[in-house]
Amino acid sequence: MPTALPRSLPTALPRSLPTALRCPCHDARPCPGRGLRDVTACARRCAAASDRRGASGRSRVGTGVVSDCGVQGTGGSSAISKCSAAARGYIQDRFLRLLAGRQRRRAPLIHRGYYVRARAVDHCVQDFLLKTQSHPRTQVLSLGAGFDSLYFRLKDVGLLHHTVVYEVDFPNVMCQKATLIKRMEELSALVGDTAGEGLGAITFSGEDYKLLGVDLSELSELGRALEEAGLDNEIPTLFIAEVVLTYMENSRSDALIQWAAERFPRACFLLYEQVHPEDPFGHVMQQHFSQLNCALRSLAQYPDCEAQQRRFLGRGWTECSAMDMNEFFTCCIPEDEQQRVQALEPFDEYEEWHLKCSHYFVLTASKGMEPSWTPLLPSVTVPHRAAPVGMAGSVPAAVCARLSGIPGLRRYGHRSVLIKPDVILTTGGFGEEDGQHCRLRNFHVLSKHAGCWKAGCVTKKHPDKRWGERLYHTVSCLSDSLALVVGGRMSPSNAGLGMLWLKFPETYNASDPDDIAVELVNLQPAAEPATLRWRHSTTEVTFKGEQYLFVYGGRSALEPVLGDWYFLHTRELSNTVIAVDGPVPESRHSHSACSWEGGALIAGGLGAAEQPLGSVFLLRKLEHGFQWQAVETYPPLIPRYSHTAHVHEGKLLLVGGVWFHAPSVPGITVIDLRTGLCLDYVINVEHLEWPLMLHNHSSVFLPNEKELVVIGGGGNCFSFGTHLNPEPVSLSLSSILTSH
């Protein structure tokens, strides 16, 4: 009887690497360092030099890729990132440090990204080995394997009793890997006896492990080398390509996919690559790889999972399925394992994590397999999150005039509030200051005078250390001269920050935006513990003629998501107990909240399982207190979070945010609170010269002009760099609010 395979492949302590490795760009020149970090740096230098001299930078095997140097550099960086993830407990792999060399600690966002990639590959490989246990022989062919440790992990846990692993990459990469294996007793002991090395393209040959240095784009050469190495076309074969084919010309990668289907009657293919090049995150992703001199060539022709499936089915493969990494994480990883990973490190980059996962996918294709190979069948059922049936229209976006290049407006995780008519105060967040990225202390003001926006810096009186360079706080303007800051954080591992008063002049000259001073006043109210949170909401409500701030949801250093609430009396800033009836909404953070008819409207957010929510709740005012009521929308609201919201004449406006499994990014959603009608509008960005990222932003609605001003937004785009919307953007909503 077939036995179940372990849920994850096992990790351990390495030895030192040899004192020199050959540069991947120059077969004979030694790299001065000791491991892949130096090889990667050398590859990046050579790629840059290639750009300067106008050459392609290709070696004698690189006819199918943009630059071998750049591509090999990405492989080295990937190995170091996987090594860092293993060191933090995300993946179990005691061989990565032996192959990757010296460690460099990556950010938690990078760890999660490489965890889900490794998990997807292991999941599919183990499923192939399980389904083919009854066959006397099977084989795995890893294309562009680099310094991957897959063979050693499989061999170490006894999963290669009748399976041979072949790895193909550039000749110099395979020579380096062969040298490492021979010099590392812990690696060479697992391989056992070797023979046949130096025969053609074979750089290393063990009984069940072969390394071949071949250009993947030269199929005749690849076929000859595999035949010499002993690859058997007639037995079940699994092809693996992790971010490899996308660097090749489409005609060559298509030919490789078809060659594999035609040559192997019983075969499976595992592909992991990027998708969605045209949205803002996709633009930043493409720019990153282009700067490394290794453009993502497949994206224009195969921009989504459906196009990739058609690609395989049209080239000889009979079954094919694909899912992005958000879906894989939710559907194919057990809930207890999800919770384990989510608890490994302090983490607060949800938007960037989900955007990264929506731009990578895993695909499996097969032919001639009995039983069928279907590793991507979900282990759990999640509600289908349909994309908008169709957009109701578009909203034009334009850069706010005369604000180009104003410092201090490039930020995210901040808050902007209308403190006077046509005067917007922006506080906190993470952004750009004096040429550096940091948490921001400076306040900024935007004022509209004679139809034009002007920007200015704010003078802070008696700056209090407790401002704390905070992110994800709230600011509520309670009078012409007073605003209350609630919560926020510095680091996600630290406790939330407390409350502050912001005092500013009652009168203000809008034509001179620099002429404003804000005084910070420290507070120690009895309600302080209730406010030590971030990613929450603070909404003005009324009860029995008194004003209260309704503090709801969010998260803290101890609780990843909160579902409680507090009523802060605005005059006394004390917590007041007021009865609330009705079904309690699911705990959430990064939601939106607006005042409406004396109560509060809560929409969307991120729930306890780090899944976007599509619910809308009204905290309705009654004589004896308040009552939670669900607001039904038609069609159902697409779950989202990290958006902003405003209410205008009985309509709830949701601006931007992050959602899953949709070909488009959120624009403006208008919900009629009387009828429940829910319409989506795309934002027309043709007049913007840069990607508009509508998450972690702030927005202010000017009802008289029906104008929405979007300030800041963006974030750290995985390993592709930080994108901050450089200028405030104006959205004219007059047409959609009139026609809705």
Q: In the chain, what are the domain boundaries?
A: 68-367, 391-732
Query: How far apart are the C-alpha atoms of 740 and 738, rounded to whole Å?
Result: 6
Mean pLDDT rounded to a whole number for the chain:
86
* Largest CA-CA distance found in the chain, in angstroms, rounded: 89
Three-state SS for 221? helix
Beta strands in 73-129 (DSSP E): none
Give the number of C-alpha atoms closer than 13 A to the C-alpha of residue 666, restricted to the C-beta side: 31
pLDDT at 81 over 50: yes
Q: What is the mean pLDDT of residues 68-95?
A: 81
Instruction: Give the CATH class of 68-367.
Output: alpha beta
From the number of C-beta atoms within 10 Å of its C-beta (0-12, 13-18, 19+), residue 435 rates as exposed
Which comes out higher in pLDDT, residue 184 or 193? 184
Range of weakest confidence among 102-106, 248-252, 291-295, 363-367: 102-106
pTM of the predicted model as reported, rounded to 2 decimal places = 0.89
Query: How far apart are the C-alpha atoms of 251 and 270, rounded to whole Å?
Result: 19
pLDDT at 523 over 60: yes
Q: What is the DSSP string of 143-191?
A: ET-TT--HHHHHHHTT--SSEEEEEEE-HHHHHHHHHHHHH-HHHHHHH
**pLDDT value at residue 595:** 97
pLDDT at 107 over 90: yes
φ and ψ at 520, to 5 degrees?
-100, 125
- Tell me the pLDDT band of 36, cut-offs 50, 70 and 90: very low
Share of the chain above pLDDT 90, in %: 67
Query: How far apart are the C-alpha atoms of 395 and 731, rounded to whole Å?
Result: 7
| CB 56 within 8 Å of CB 285 | no
| CB 11 within 8 Å of CB 93 | yes
**pLDDT value at residue 405:** 60
Q: What is the mean pLDDT of residues 159-180?
A: 95
- Tell me the pLDDT band of 382, cut-offs 50, 70 and 90: low
Q: What is the mean pLDDT of residues 206-230?
A: 95
Q: What is the DSSP string of 569-630?
A: ETTT--EE---EESPPPPP-BS-EEEEETTEEEEE--B-TTS-BB--EEEEEE-SSSEEEEE
pLDDT at 173 over 50: yes
Three-state SS for 98? helix
Place of tokens 């004096």: 434
**pLDDT value at residue 464:** 59
pLDDT at 344 over 50: yes
pLDDT in tens, 401-414: 666 566 678 999 99
**pLDDT value at residue 272:** 98
Other Cβ atoms less than 10 A from the Cβ of 539: the count is 22
**pLDDT value at residue 589:** 98
Share of the chain above pLDDT 70, in %: 84
Closest CA to 342 of 606, 723, 719: 606
pLDDT in tens, 689-725: 899 999 999 999 999 999 999 999 999 888 898 999 9
- Tell me the pLDDT band of 506, cut-offs 50, 70 and 90: confident
- Tell me the pLDDT band of 536, cut-offs 50, 70 and 90: very high
Which residues does residue 426 pair with via DSSP β-bridges, in sequence order?
416, 444
Q: What is the mean pLDDT of residues 382-409?
A: 72
Q: What is the mean pLDDT of residues 425-442?
A: 89
Which residues are CB-contacts of 291 (< 8 A; sequence separation ≥ 6)? none
**What are the tokens at 273?**
């690559």
Range of weakest confidence among 50-54, 249-253, 361-365: 50-54
pLDDT in tens, 449-493: 888 888 877 887 766 565 768 999 999 999 988 999 999 999 888
Which residues are CB-contacts of 14 (< 8 A; sequence separation ≥ 6)? 94, 97, 98, 186
Three-state SS for 415? strand
Q: Are strands 30-31 and 138-143 parallel, antiparallel or unpaired?
A: unpaired
| CB 316 within 8 Å of CB 258 | yes
- Tell me the pLDDT band of 543, cut-offs 50, 70 and 90: very high
pLDDT at 189 over 70: yes
**pLDDT value at residue 5:** 44
Q: What is the sign of the dihedral through the CA atoms of 734, 737, 738 and 740?
A: positive
pLDDT at 50 over 60: no
Place of tokens 């909240």: 593
- Tell me the pLDDT band of 521, cut-offs 50, 70 and 90: confident
**What are the tokens at 258?**
């078809």
- Distances in Å between the alpha carbon of 457 and those of 101, 407, 425, 700? 48, 9, 10, 18
Q: What is the mean pLDDT of residues 163-192?
A: 94
Q: What is the mean pLDDT of residues 326-331?
A: 95
The helix (H) or strand (E) run that includes residue 321 is: strand 319-324
| CB 644 within 8 Å of CB 698 | yes
Most confident of 90-99, 390-399, 534-543: 534-543
Three-state SS for 425? strand
pLDDT at 17 over 70: no
**pLDDT value at residue 571:** 87
Query: How far apart are the C-alpha atoms of 244 and 142, rounded to whole Å?
Result: 10
Question: What angle, rounded to 10 degrees, do the helices at 108-131 and 350-358 form?
Answer: 40
Q: What is the mean pLDDT of residues 298-306?
A: 96
Place of tokens 């030919």: 255
Pick the CATH number of 391-732 from 3.40.50.2020, 2.120.10.80, 3.20.20.70, 3.60.15.10: 2.120.10.80
| CB 738 within 8 Å of CB 715 | no
Range of weakest confidence among 80-84, 142-146, 510-514: 510-514
Q: Which residues of 624-663 are buried (b: 16+ CB within 10 A; e: fewer)?
A: ebbbbeebebeeebbbbbbbbbbbeeebbbbbbbbbbbbe
| CB 6 within 8 Å of CB 157 | yes
| CB 586 within 8 Å of CB 613 | yes
**pLDDT value at residue 14:** 32
Closest CA to 142 of 163, 115, 158, 119: 163
- Tell me the pLDDT band of 9, cut-offs 50, 70 and 90: very low
**pLDDT value at residue 281:** 94
